[in-house]
Structure 1
């Protein structure tokens, strides 16, 4: 330890005679040569402990206590993280965890060598392993992309070959029609030639018998035989919708970079997403307002294409409209009851739920097929007499998933339970009803619009619970969003729910005439307000991330917010 009056560049000297020291008095903190040791210890007013340089190298040199000049800091306070002397320990560090300084250092060294350092080495090893696997993992993505491309190429080649085959068949039929017409006319020509020859023979021979039997056939041939006119078919190529083609090819999930620190995780802004990030507009814009003709209570909307949407309201008719408000077609429910909710499949078919007859139905080529049928309804008064019977359920709201499954929210006939069921066709694949503690995830009543987010989370707008409930693909609760009251006057009333290409979750707040936009982790981002919204109900987002809002007023609003 350096003398307090010396710098690191000073030559060590005896504090009494300035010669080279061979010893040091630790309590007095002075360096001494051999000749000055006797003079120094002659001062009996102090306690001395003179050690030679060799002794000092083998004896721990504790730091001097800054508050007690005659004390050394031989102890270490773990709470305050500082060396202390025995006096400080008894005065200001009473009750703190104390240990010997060198013991603390030894303990720290052991922890560094046996626990901390190996963990750092393992992290580096894991990162190196991950880097080594990059080529393999991303090679699989490229292979999957190539395979999907080959599948599409084969499909397109098959379509082209089929069209060519159809063209060849039509051409052969066209030729056959022309050949038949040619044969008919050729036969008539042969007859004409024979008649002409006969007439010439009569004129040349002037045979009276031939003249007497002659009958003119000019009238018969004056009217020409019918000539068949065949129009060749034409080909009208459809305009290639790149967005639809890209969606049909398949989607790629985002590169998610999550940093774990002290048990908490946070997203990195360096994460790469597909498609590219679209920032929120400072002021969302109303770009269309369409009177759907339902009068009021427009329940739900689902996009068929960029300019076509299916709608349903408080009657038995479901309408396909364009965004100019023109009705393109309509479908009446098979039961004649009002549909509870609608969605559009990846193949462009309409699906609707029928609350009264407990069915989920598919509309394909204007033909209705019942895909899912639940057990019939039992009056509440009878349920208590037949407790051994299984609980019966009624389908309510529905959405199509990226995998082609259907997610259906259901309510029990006794109105005490709710759940979400995943179907593949008519087969039940998954039921989501309780959390890990066995508590219900959803309230027992009210609207429960449902949507699958881009990250495959299942999002339910639970109006009775005044919350958006989000679970992951396996049904484990991720979060509940219960509103953001910075700019609303009434309680949060979530109804319609949808999501966009950025994995934003959008939910309609019926009482507050606005839309809440959340990120995929449930953090509030902003409101959509001031777009002439009045009692919004159903929501959907088109392929360009425009928001379609079905209002309780019967109007459909189109809003640009990205």
Structure 2
């Protein structure tokens, strides 16, 4: 794919350079011709002026000679003067009408005309034909059964973890988890905490881990994104990786494949919300302003490039494709939902925790509700609803954080089919 994309870019660059050279050549020829016409036209005007100047001078001289008529006192002298004037044969010169050059544009130049020469991309919806791997895996729709809970991790720390609001996997043996009070902890699979960061940020999906293990964290109050290199600590005085004076970040996700960063944010003193894409160097390369967003609490990326946002103020999961075009808005099987933690599986399905139905839902890549994956009604503590962190590891196990405790349950989610060669 990378070779094909690079080849397309090279072809566009070559065609554009060729068109630019053609335009420069035509421009030079046209300007040279205009310069030549200007010189020849001015020369013709100068010739006409010279002829007229000579005739005007002759007429002025003749008019001056009439002053001598007053000295003619005899008929003979008058006749002699008349013969002199007539002999000059004064006449009006022929004036040649000069034709000025003109310029006419043959056609209106627009983007379509230029695109014919540069080249046109024929497949503008690269994510409509999805690549699935369902031949090798199937969903374990009964994974909520206790037998399919393959592990429980109790995060032991001081201060204690007050609910698992967001989870981001660091590597095979470690993960980051945060609670309702901005306590961010790095723990191992036995629940031992290796690092604690007190962020005081209470936004939801406010941190993410890159493929190389670096941690990116939102500082909502100071409107900036901090980067912590793997095995280092946050430096509060470090230069922000990304900052914006008018947009407050509330969620972040780093693509494990491209390394690009998605940030959900809100604009000060307005109701505007957006998701912005940045490259690895922190340069903005895309902005999605959608009226469907109210507060993009959680953001993630599907395997097909779709941008999935969990927005409980909107009571919906909102999905745009990689080009920023809205694909669908899902409001849950009960026509209402309070989505929080969100992730995507290898089959392009979207998994989200719904605080309204107190369950983990699974939605396909076209926005259709597939099933209630895990029913957590019995795990409910009596409050209206809770947020929960979700994640899927490289073994395709589903991690579900409990909303009211320091426990994370890991479920067997995707199972290998009996015949993976089909």
The answer to whether the superposition gives a TM-score over 0.5 is yes
Equivalent residue number for residue 359 of structure 1: 224
The reply on whether 1:400 has 2:254 as its aligned counterpart is yes
Shift of 1:282: 3.5
Deviating runs (4+, > 6 A) in structure 1? none
- Does residue 464 of the first structure (1) align with residue 334 of the second (2)? no
The residue that corresponds to 1:539 in the other structure is: 390
Check 1:351–1:464 CA distance in 2 against 1; reply closer, same or farther (3 A cut). Answer: same
Give runs of aligned pairs for residues 262-273 of structure 1, distance below 5 A: 273=132
Would you say 1:429 and 2:285 are equivalent positions? yes
Q: Which residue number corresponds to residue 312 of structure 1?
A: 178
Q: 1:366 to 1:533 in 2, by over 3 A?
A: farther
Q: Which has the higher contact order (CA 8 A, sep 6+)?
A: 2
Q: Distance in 2 between matches of 1:463 and 1:428?
A: 26
How far apart, in 2, do the equivalents of 1:520 and 1:465 lie? 20
Structure 1 residues 358 and 277: alpha-carbon distance in aligned structure 2, compared to 1, 3 A threshold = same
Residue 501 of structure 1 aligns to a residue whose secondary structure is coil
Normalising to structure 2: TM-score of the pair? Answer: 0.59
- Structure 1 distance, partners of 2:305, 2:132, is 15
| Alignment match, 2:154 | 291
Pair 1:373-2:243 in alignment: yes
**TM value normalised by structure 1:** 0.45
Q: Distance in 1 between matches of 2:202 and 2:289?
A: 26
The unaligned stretches of length 5 or more in structure 1 are 1-136, 145-265, 376-391, 435-439
Q: Residue in 1 aligned with 2:89? A: none
Alpha carbons 1:495, 1:509 under 8 Å: kept: yes
Q: What do residues 343-385 of structure 1 show as CA deviations (whole Å, max 9, x unaligned)?
A: 110111111111111111111131435211221xxxxxxxxxx
Cα distance, 1:421 vs structure 2: 0.7
Quote the residue 2:365 is aligned against: 520
What SS does structure 2 have at the residue aligned with 1:473?
Answer: coil
Q: Residues 339 and 354 of structure 1 are in contact (CA less than 8 Å); yes or no, is this contact kept in structure 2?
A: no
Unaligned runs of 5+ in 2: 8-127, 381-385, 415-422
Query: What secondary structure, in the 3-state scheme, does the structure 2 residue paired with 1:543 have?
Result: coil
Aligned residue among 275, 279, 298 for 2:138:
279
Q: What is the aligned partner in structure 1 of residue 304 from structure 2? A: 455
Q: What root-mean-square deviation, in Å, do the aligned CA atoms of Structure 1 and Structure 2 show?
A: 2.8
Matched length: 271
CA distance in structure 2 between the aligned counterparts of 1:420 and 1:499, rounded to whole angstroms = 18
- 399 and 289 in structure 1: CA distance in 2 versus 1, 3 angstrom threshold: same
Which structure has the larger Rg over C-alpha atoms?
1
Contact 2:162 2:181 in 1 (8 A): no
Distance in 1, matches of 2:178 and 2:161, equals 12
Distance (Å, rounded) in 2 between the aligned partners of 1:473 and 1:309: 27
Matched, 1:550 2:401: yes
| Aligned-partner SS, 1:305 | coil
Partners of 1:279 and 1:559 in 2: how far apart?
A: 14
Within 2, Cα distance between the matches of 1:539 and 1:412?
Answer: 27
Deviations 1:90-121 (A, max 9, x none): xxxxxxxxxxxxxxxxxxxxxxxxxxxxxxxx
**1:176 aligns to what?**
none
1:323 aligns with 2:189: yes
Does the 8 Å contact 2:316/2:336 carry over to 1? no
1:513–1:536 CA contact under 8 A, matched in 2:
no
Q: Note if contact 2:361-2:374 (Cα within 8 Å) is conserved in structure 1.
A: no
Q: Matches of 2:189 and 2:389 in 1, distance apart?
A: 16
In the other structure, the counterpart of 1:301 is 167
Deviation at 1:529, TM superposition (A): 2.2
Deviations 1:417-463 (A, max 9, x none): 111011123211111013xxxxx1312x4x52100000000001121
CA change 1:491–1:272 in 2 (3 A) is closer
